[in-house]
Amino acid sequence: MKKTYEIAGEVMGFFDSFKGSRPAIDNERILIVRGKSRKIIPLNEFESKLAEIGEILGATEVDATSEKVSKILEVGDKNIKRSESNTNDMDSHGLVRMKEELESMGLFVEYKVFELPKFDVIIAIWEDKNELPPLYVEVTVSERED
């Protein structure tokens, strides 16, 4: 079975954003890694690139508007709070709000939610709407509740 660092490493390597990437949150149940790449992905390829890394991971995509995503975010929020006491509660619209906020700053954003046997994975990528570097990558690997 893959571990959180292996999953995050595959994502960061795929987007050529491993160098300089660092964990934003890292505890025994969740890993959030952020990085940036000089690689440029045409905006119309964002969705297919996310689907491609999902296939490489052997993951199953979860519809971002489904009720299942709310549960995934809820578990992820609990996992974050294990080590980060100063966080706000996440809600089911958190991903949508994040995307809207980044887009209001002139960025193009896509994200996908995936399931693996023991983990949920959220991958978000964004870059300037004019396809200027850098490409930002964020991956969240959260252990599922039993």
Instruction: List Cβ neighbours of 88 (8 Å cut-off, separation of 6 or more).
Output: none
Residues 93-125 have pLDDT tens digits of 678 888 899 999 999 999 999 999 999 999 999
Q: Which domain holds residue 18?
A: 4-143
Find the CATH number of the domain harbouring 104. 3.30.310
pTM for the predicted model, two decimal places: 0.91
Q: For 6-29, write each residue's pLDDT tens digit.
A: 999 999 999 999 888 999 999 989
Number of domains composing the chain:
1
